[in-house]
Amino acid sequence: MAQRVVLTDDLDGSEATQTITFVIDGQEYAIDLSEDNIQRFHAALEPFVSASRHVTRQTTPTRRGRGDGRRRSGSRWRDDIPQIRAWAEAQGMDVSARGRIKKEVLDAYDEAHK
């Protein structure tokens, strides 16, 4: 069965022909407008648009893992090893000055620094 979607102009209630999206101060908006109101919209913004510079948005990199910048998998993947060693020594834990740090120590450090 075919369906017909009818947009309604958000300003005057007439039948809309297009949804326009725009961003102001980082907030994205969408409005359904008829052809007449689309022309009014563009005419109202034209002085501002013509005086503006084009900005290309950069995509935000996708974060993986815990989301706090630290990884749990092992010492070779972490950049906070000196801090972990110092913290573990201050806690009286047995930690070597070089080499691998025990998983128990890593887990305790992560738990203490949530």
Contact present, 33 and 10 (Cβ < 8 Å): yes
Q: Burial-class residue 108 by CB neighbours within 10 Å (0-12, 13-18, 19+).
A: middle
- Amino acid letter for position 21: T
Per-residue pLDDT, 64: 60
The answer to whether residue 65 is domain-embedded is: no
Both 8 and 47 in a single domain?
A: yes
The answer to whether residue 66 is domain-embedded is: no
Count of domains observed in the chain: 2
Task: Report the CATH number at residue 98.
Answer: 4.10.320
pLDDT digits (tens, 9 = 90+) for 69-100: 554 554 456 888 888 988 898 999 888 888 88
pLDDT digits (tens, 9 = 90+) for 35-75: 999 999 999 999 999 999 988 877 766 666 555 555 455 44
Q: Which residue is it, tokens 């958000």?
A: 10
Both 46 and 88 in a single domain?
A: no
Per-residue pLDDT, 70: 52
